[in-house]
């Protein structure tokens, strides 16, 4: 393999790799703004310019192809001076409003200013200002903070497949905005905020909600569809503030759709957080007794949401084998979709037709889709994690375990509140057959309990029958 030298370190590279990538692998970080591994290279910000022996001018590491025997100096006097000067140029018209900016704390401009910039400004002229347009429901714009890296423009064109962000005017007056000031249309708008290296494009949903350094981050898997995008839950004091994508080049690369990003919000209102009986909150003993009356000794129709984890499904199967032999077990999740053969690409970007995360896992365990019929059963048990949707439930005495909305509560006789994906550990299998694990980010809300605990409580009287201490 060919080799080059970065700051004295010999490193191998593959033909076609750029200096910035090779350096990163060698453990040498070269600062950049406009470069993004998932987007085309434009070499506009000039921050990554490095000195390469035998080349008279500084070369941008993002656009320069690695070559055999190349000797790169990322911290030479010339390179450092350039970084300092680029920082100065970028900041002369920046409002320096970090104290009220949501990006503060995770801002490339802010971080690199500390690392590579000069603490003093020599600029005494009037700063450039813009009037912001409304960008729709997802993104809050602040053009004064923009450093014209054009990542957003390239994201729209190259990833989201929509040309909606553009550069207007030119030179010092260049404004990055939407065509004709229209609101954003893409269903991937949240990524604009992720890739913006400053606080110019931020999430409206997150605006002024939390300083980012307060947030605790937990790796998770989005439960929005069968792709299983890798993401992170950011919470503080058991309150989730946002979800952001986590890089996984095989699944979602660097991106996340808005539906998945904001899905956690659906659990923050109107969720059944207490035991319910006939649509009303009741105490546990009444709810449990009602459940036992409905389920005990009956042949059941069991509907499991394809949003449950592999671990939960296995548990359900075991309990049925113990207590309800001969019951019928089916999965549900996306109305109109009864098997993985109907799943497919939904928009050519990330979204899949199956609107739950574990359809493929359930079928892998041998569970088939529910055809919507009541079958020959005496009672109905519905288990789900909150995302799976049903069409119409058969009119049987029914029990629901898991996460339900207030509006759904009347459709089930008894509900025992369970956990959603942010409150538990587990694994789900995506459409590629990839088993992905996620961790619990926050404690169970209200009186919600894990499925194992709910089953334990239901089976307590049975447990005493076989001699286990109750």
Partner 1 sequence: MSSEKSTTLFIEHFQPECRFLHYYLKEMEGYQGLKKAFGMSPSEVIEEVKSSQLRGRGGAGFPTGMKWGFIPKQSSVPKYLVCNADESEPGTFKDRDLMRYTPHLLLEGMLIGAYAIGARSGYIYIRGEYAREAVLLQEAIEEAYAARYLGSNIQGSGFDFELTVHRGAGAYICGEETALLNSLEGKRGEPRVKPPFPAQAGAFGGPTIVNNVETLACVPFILRRGGPWFAQLGKLEKSGGTRLFCLSGHVKKPGLYELPAAGVTLRELIYTYGGGILNDRKLKAVIPGGSSAPVLTAEEIDVVLDVEPLMKIGSMLGSAGVVVVSEDYCVVKLIQRIAKFYAHESCGQCTPCREGCRWMEEVLERIEHGKGRTQDLNLLLQIADNIQGKTLCALGDAAAGPVASFVKKFQSDFEAHIRGGKCPN
Binding residues for partner 1, rule: CB under 8 A, are 41-47, 49, 56-58, 60, 63, 65, 81-82, 85-86, 88-90, 92-93, 122-123, 125, 147-148, 150, 167, 169-174
In 3-state terms, what secondary structure has residue 381?
strand
Going by C-alpha positions, the residue among 304, 310, 369, 301 that lies closest to residue 335 is 369
| Residue at token pair 């990330």 | 350
Residue labelled with tokens 């299983």: 228
Rounded to the nearest whole angstrom, what is the least distance from the CB of residue 204 to partner 1 in the complex? 27
Nearer to partner 1, 112 or 255 (CB): 112
46 vs 234 by CB, closer to partner 1:
46
- Classify 195 as helix, strand or coil: helix
Whole-angstrom CA distances from 167 to 95, 133, 198, 444 are 20, 14, 17, 46
Q: How far is the CB of 49 from partner 1 (least distance, A)?
A: 6
Q: Which is nearer to partner 1, 84 or 265 (CB)?
A: 84
Least Å distance between CB 200 and partner 1? 15
- Least distance between partner 1 and beta carbon 33 (Å): 8
Strand partners, 10: 5
Q: Cβ closer to partner 1: 117 or 444?
A: 117
Between 89 and 390, name the residue whose CB sits nearer to partner 1: 89
Q: Which string of DSSP letters, residue by residue, matches 30-50?
A: ---SS--TTS-----S-TTEE
Question: What is the distance between the alpha carbons of residues 231 and 209, in angstroms, rounded to a whole number?
Answer: 20
Minimum CB separation from partner 1 for residue 173, in Å? 7
Q: Rounded to whole angstroms, how far apart are CA atoms 95 and 465? A: 72
Nearer to partner 1 among residue 43 and residue 133 (C-beta): 43
Coil, helix or strand at residue 373: coil
CB of 109 to partner 1, least distance (A): 12
Q: What is the DSSP string of 435-460?
A: EEEE---SPPPTT---HHHHHHHHTH
Q: Work out how close the CB of 170 gets to partner 1 at its nearest, in angstroms, rounded to a whole number.
A: 5
Nearest distance, CB of residue 420 and partner 1, angstroms: 45
Q: In angstroms, rounded to a whole number, what is the distance separating the alpha carbons of residues 415 and 454?
A: 11
Nearer to partner 1, 81 or 464 (CB): 81
- Closest CB to partner 1 among 64 and 309? 64
- Do residues 139 and 202 touch, judged by C-beta distance below 8 A? yes
Please say which residue, 156 or 305, places its beta carbon nearer to partner 1.
156
Structure tokens at 63: 């656009």
Identify which of residues 63 and 389 has a Cβ nearer to partner 1 in the complex: 63
Q: Is the distance from CB of 328 to CB of 302 less than 8 angstroms?
A: yes
Q: Determine the angle formed by the axes of helices 310-323 and 451-458, rounding to 10 degrees.
A: 10
Return the bridge partners of 415, or none. Answer: 276, 400
Residue nearer to partner 1 on the CB measure, 92 or 98 = 92
Min CB(52)–partner 1 separation in Å:
13
User: Nearest distance from residue 148's CB to partner 1, in Å?
Assistant: 6
Closest CA to 361 of 285, 469, 433: 433
Rounded to whole angstroms, the Cα distance separating 403 from 397 reads 19
Which CB, 148 or 424, lies closer to partner 1? 148
Least separation in angstroms between residue 63's CB and partner 1 is 5
User: Is 223 exposed, middle or buried, given 0-12, 13-18 or 19+ CB atoms closer than 10 A?
Assistant: buried
Q: Are 241 and 210 in contact (CB under 8 A)?
A: yes
Q: How far is the CB of 61 from partner 1 (least distance, A)?
A: 13
Rounded Cα–Cα distance for residues 310 and 388 (Å): 15
What's the CA gap between 93 and 77, in Å, rounded?
26
CA 315 – CA 453 distance, rounded (Å): 11
Helices (H), ranges, 324-398: 359-364
Give the whole-angstrom CA distance, residue 419 versus residue 448: 6
H or E segment at 294? helix 284-295
């Amino acid at each position: 393999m060919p080799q080059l030298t970065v700051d004295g370190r010999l490193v191998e590279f593959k033909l076609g790799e750029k200096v910035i990538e090779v350096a990163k692998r060698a453990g040498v970080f070269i600062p950049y703004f406009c470069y993004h591994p998932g987007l085309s290279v434009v070499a506009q910000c000039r921050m990554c310019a490095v000195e390469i022996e035998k080349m008279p001018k500084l070369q941008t590491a993002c656009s320069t192809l690695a070559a055999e025997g190349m000797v790169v100096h990322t911290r030479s006097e010339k390179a450092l001076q350039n970084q300092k000067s680029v920082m100065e140029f970028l900041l002369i018209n920046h409002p320096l409003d970090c104290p009220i900016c949501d990006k503060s704390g995770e801002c490339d401009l802010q971080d690199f200013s500390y690392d590579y910039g000069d603490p003093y400004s020599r600029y005494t002229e009037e700063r450039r200002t813009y009037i912001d347009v409304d960008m729709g429901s997802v993104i809050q714009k602040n053009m004064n903070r923009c450093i014209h890296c054009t990542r957003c423009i390239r994201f729209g064109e190259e990833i989201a497949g929509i040309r909606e962000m553009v550069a207007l005017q030119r030179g010092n007056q260049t404004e990055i905005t939407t065509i004709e000031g229209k609101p954003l249309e893409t269903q991937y708008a949240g990524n604009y905020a992720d890739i913006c290296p400053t606080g110019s494009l931020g999430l409206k949903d997150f605006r002024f909600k939390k300083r980012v350094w307060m947030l605790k981050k937990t790796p998770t898997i989005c439960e929005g569809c069968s792709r299983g995008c890798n993401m992170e839950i950011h919470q503080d004091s058991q309150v989730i503030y946002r979800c952001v994508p986590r890089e996984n080049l095989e699944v979602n690369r660097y991106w996340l759709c808005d539906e998945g990003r904001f899905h956690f919000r659906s659990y923050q209102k109107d969720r059944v957080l207490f035991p319910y009986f006939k649509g009303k909150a009741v105490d546990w003993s009444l709810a449990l007794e009602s459940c036992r009356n409905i389920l005990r000794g009956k042949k059941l129709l069991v509907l499991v949401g394809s949003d449950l984890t592999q671990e939960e499904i296995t548990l359900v199967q075991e309990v049925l084998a113990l207590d309800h032999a001969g019951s019928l077990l089916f999965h549900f999740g996306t109305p109109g979709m009864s098997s993985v053969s109907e799943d497919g690409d939904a928009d050519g970007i990330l979204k899949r037709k199956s609107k739950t995360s574990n359809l493929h896992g359930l079928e892998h365990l041998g569970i088939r889709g529910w055809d919507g019929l009541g079958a020959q059963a005496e009672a109905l048990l519905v288990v789900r994690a909150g995302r799976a949707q049903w069409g119409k439930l058969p009119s049987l005495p029914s029990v629901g375990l898991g996460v339900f909305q207030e509006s759904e509560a009347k459709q089930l006789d008894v509900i025992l509140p369970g956990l959603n994906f942010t409150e538990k550990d587990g694994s789900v299998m995506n459409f590629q057959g990839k088993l992905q694990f996620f961790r619990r980010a926050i404690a169970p809300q209200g009186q919600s309990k894990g499925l194992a605990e709910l089953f334990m409580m239901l089976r307590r009287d049975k447990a005493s029958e076989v001699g286990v201490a109750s």
